Amino acid sequence: MPEFGDLKQLEEKIGYCFQDKALLKQAVTHSSFSNEQRINKLKNYERLEFLGDAVLELISSKFFFMENPEMSEGQMTKLRSSMVCELALAYCARDIELGKYLLLGKGEDATGGRMRESIISDVMEAIIGALFLDGGFEAAENFVLKFILSDLENKQLFYDSKTILQEKIQKLGKELTYHLIEETGPDHDKQFTVEACIDGTPFTKGCGRNKKSAEQNAAYEALMKWEK
């Protein structure tokens, strides 16, 4: 279970030292953990997530507006939506191993909460909110630019992999299908393996904690294989 020593490691990883350490601890505290504390109940991340979501929208809007002077409002909205959605934030959270710093209740921890996309994406937003309160807009913006709005070309390829692959296959006049070939693990911690098939022939495999994630990984692997 993370204590302040571990959170110091998280501070080093994100390159920011909190003046108010309680803000960072709140940002990584899930309601399941705070509910288990009968004495000195900790605040959870939900309010910080609310704030962080708004700050992230402003930072990303500013970024896409400045970086794409010829892009229409509709195009920027679509791009922003794909780059800061739950799946995208979870991808970025895994990059910094955010899951291992979470304070979770025993039940939530036992059922795979540390890797659950809905939780780690929320915590990313909570950290943005905490940074905004502790260090102002600049601190939050630095974090977003470094850990979320970086390497966008490769990230966008991953996020849009199913659509991009579908378009490539259609241009060839072929059919793309996905087939679930394996499902392992207990109900609370499933692992799915999916095959991407072209005209019925297996091309690549992908794994994930749900079918959608597995399909996306299979599509991304197919695009990487295509490029090679």
Give me the DSSP letters along 102-129: -B--HHHHHTTGGG-HHHHHHHHHHHHH
Same domain, 96 and 200: no
Catalytic pick among 53, 86, 160, 189: 53
User: In this structure, which amino acid lies at residue 200?
Assistant: G
Q: Is residue 156, in this structure, part of any structural domain at all? A: no
In this structure, what token pair is assigned to residue 89? 């934030």
pTM for the model stands at 0.77
125 is catalytic: yes
Q: Which residues pair with 184 in a beta bridge?
A: 191
Residue stretches of the chain with pLDDT short of 50 = none
53 is catalytic: yes
Catalytic pick among 49, 108, 122, 125: 125
Q: What's the number of domains the chain is made of? A: 2
Q: Is residue 171, in this structure, part of any structural domain at all? A: yes
**For residue 199, what are the domain limits?**
161-227
The CATH number of the domain holding residue 217 is: 3.30.160.20
Looking at the chain, the whole-number percentage of residues with pLDDT higher than 90 is 54
Contact predicate 30/113, CB 8 Å: yes
Per residue in 67-111, pLDDT tens? 999 999 999 998 888 888 887 898 899 889 999 999 988 888 887
DSSP 19: S
Tokens 């309601």: give the residue: 31
Same domain, 30 and 114: yes
Q: Is residue 179, in this structure, part of any structural domain at all? A: yes
How many angstroms separate the Cα of 176 from the Cα of each of 69, 181, 183, 198? 36, 16, 21, 5
